Amino acid sequence: MAKEHDPYLRHLFDGTDLNVYDHNVMNLSAGAPGPDLLQLCVNLFQEATRHCLEKEKEKAYLFQYGIAPGMWEFREELAKFLSKQYGEPVLRELLVQTCGATHGLQLAMIEFLWPDSIIFVEDATYMLALQAFQKYPHMKIVTVPITDSGLDAEALEKIVSEEYTKRQWNLTEERPFWAMLYTIPVFHNPTGTTMKESTCQKVVNIARKFNILVFCEDVYNLIHFTEGPPPKRLFAYDFETPGYKGGHVISNGTFSKILSPGVRVGWMELPPRLAVNIRKSGILVSGGATNHYVSGVITSLLELGLQEKHLTYAREKFKNRMNILCDILETRLPKSCVFLRPMGGYFVWIKLPEFINSKQFTDWSTKKHKITMVVGSRFSLENKYNNYLRVGIAFHDKEIIRQAAEVLCIAIREFIEMITTKKNLT
Ligand SMILES: Cc1ncc(COP(=O)(O)O)c(C=O)c1O
């Protein structure tokens, strides 16, 4: 490999003119906690590591291979934490440790799907999941529309039914699904929407009727801006009813958004039959859990109440940033633009007038106003949403968000004016 293919880079956003850590441009693209929050992790991890290693002096089991689903104590502490946060019971035995949500997705696909299964995705959806799905050459990706309150359940049923009848499917107990619905029901990326309760129940009913796996990216659920518990996760609608032995929903969670993406720890919450199956995964058994040592440190973080304290603090920061952004958008965005104020999560989805191309806009705004964000078409398999922008609030502190929101409104106004009056882009 040539040296130029291995540049010296320190993080995912490094190495371009749009590095979020640089101050020469206001980059609202990142979907990750920023430096002010990550700096707090240094002390948190020092304390948790000390606590954790103290327990290891005698047997040092934490440095041995772990058990496939992840250390018992880790899952026990995680179950307690999640039960409190969700305001709903979460059972230790249904949890499996992962190296983050992305790994959970890959694991579920390997363990439960067939090489030629169908993947239903919301249109729009998380752009990097789309990129990952496109690497599975025999899996067909089919889009399902979403509305302002999440997935369109009627459209889903119609589309699933059409695909189901197209061919014969031979399923086994180990791989009981011919298709997967990939969904982000709560504080959706990129649209910020949340699936309404009646839709959640309908989605579970469709999954049961047609035997599909519903893979829920519950990665933003705990970043909620209203009092009380967050919206109920779809998993909780898939309860056992008399005679029912199924279980079709996986809740995929991560510490990336509530603590640090760098630690690469997450979890899947699975229905009993899938939780039993996944413990036999060659990958998990061979690896002796994923990231066993780090799970020990996270166990201490949870046990000491440090994660809860950090989440409460981070959530307040995110809420503040979201409010500042949305308040400014509400008053200064041209009336021809539309956005919904999300009740949680990291993103605001802005619709520009149909005649505006958001790629052209961001190319121009980066040069002219030193501001950029992600263009809508990246979230669509069919290259739709050409007049949409995704703005992220998680990375920058409130002063940068305030400044960026003001500049963004000015830039959009100026750009629309330029296009409508057919002036050259300068
Ligand atoms: C919907 C969704 N899933 C997964 C991820 C990645 O999560 P992780 O860092 O846990 O792999 C992200 C991050 O942007 C996301 O928005």
Ligand 1: distance of its center to the CA of 417 in Å? 36
Q: How far is the CA of 254 from the centre of ligand 1 (A)?
A: 8
| Residue 101 CA to ligand 1 centre (angstroms) | 6
What does pLDDT average to over the chain?
95
In angstroms, what is the span from residue 415 Cα to ligand 1's centroid?
Answer: 32
Query: What pLDDT, on the 0 to 100 scale, is given for residue 22?
Result: 87
Q: Where are the domains of the chain?
A: 3-30+316-420, 46-307
Question: Given the CA of residue 184, which atom of ligand 1 is nearest to it?
Answer: 1
pLDDT at 346: 98
CB atoms closer than 10 angstroms to residue 371: 21
Question: In testing the pocket of ligand 1, which one of 11, 20, 28, 102 has its CB within 8 Å of the most ligand atoms?
Answer: 102
31 Cα nearest atom in ligand 1: 14
pLDDT at residue 224, rounded to an integer = 98
For residue 73, give the H/E element and its range: helix 72-86
Cα separations in angstroms, 74 against 58, 94, 98, 178: 19, 13, 12, 32
- Torsion over CA: 319, 321, 326, 331 (sign): positive
Atom of ligand 1 nearest to the CA of 103: 11
> Which candidate, 386, 374, 292, 265, places its Cα nearest to that of 27?
374
The structure tokens 């519903």 sit at: 214
β-partners of residue 401 are none
Ligand 1 center from residue 264 Cα (angstroms): 11
pLDDT < 50 regions, the chain: none
CA 384 to ligand 1 centroid distance, Å:
22
pLDDT at 24: 86
Q: How far is the CA of 139 from the centre of ligand 1 (A)?
A: 21
Distance 46 CA to ligand 1 centre (A): 25
Report the relative pairing of strands 266-269 and 338-339 from DSSP bridges.
unpaired
pLDDT at 425: 62
Ligand 1 geometric centre to CA of 102 (Å): 6
Residue 317 CB partners (closer than 8 Å, separation 6+): 36, 37, 397, 398
Question: What single-letter DSSP state applies at residue 392?
Answer: E
Determine the distance from the C-alpha atom of residue 197 to the mean position of all C-alpha atoms in its chain, rounded to a whole number: 20
Nearest-atom index, ligand 1, CA of 100 = 10
Q: Cα 105 from chain centroid? A: 11
If one residue of 11, 38, 126, 182 were mutated to test the ligand 1 pocket, choosing by the most ligand atoms within 8 A of its CB, it would be 126
The three-point CA angle 253-255-261 to 5° equals 120
Atom in ligand 1 nearest the alpha carbon of residue 266: 10
Question: Could you tell me the CATH superfamily of domain 3-30+316-420?
Answer: Aspartate Aminotransferase, domain 1 (3.90.1150.10)
* Nearest atom in ligand 1 to 125's CA: 1
Q: What is the CATH number of domain 46-307?
A: 3.40.640.10
Copy the structure tokens of residue 32.
Answer: 């990750």
CA distance 193 to 199: 13
Which is the closest atom of ligand 1 to the Cα of 32? 14
Given the CA of residue 261, which atom of ligand 1 is nearest to it? 9
- Summarised one tens digit per residue, pLDDT across range 44-86 is 999 999 999 999 999 999 999 999 999 999 999 999 999 999 9
Q: What pLDDT is attached to residue 337?
A: 98
Of all protein residues, whose CA lies closest to atom 7 belonging to ligand 1? 101
- Best mutation site among 20, 127, 257 for ligand 1 pocket (most ligand atoms within 8 Å of CB): 257
pTM for this prediction: 0.96
In the structure, which protein residues have their CB atom closer than 6 angstroms to any atom of ligand 1? 31, 100-102, 126, 184, 189, 217, 219, 254, 256, 261, 266
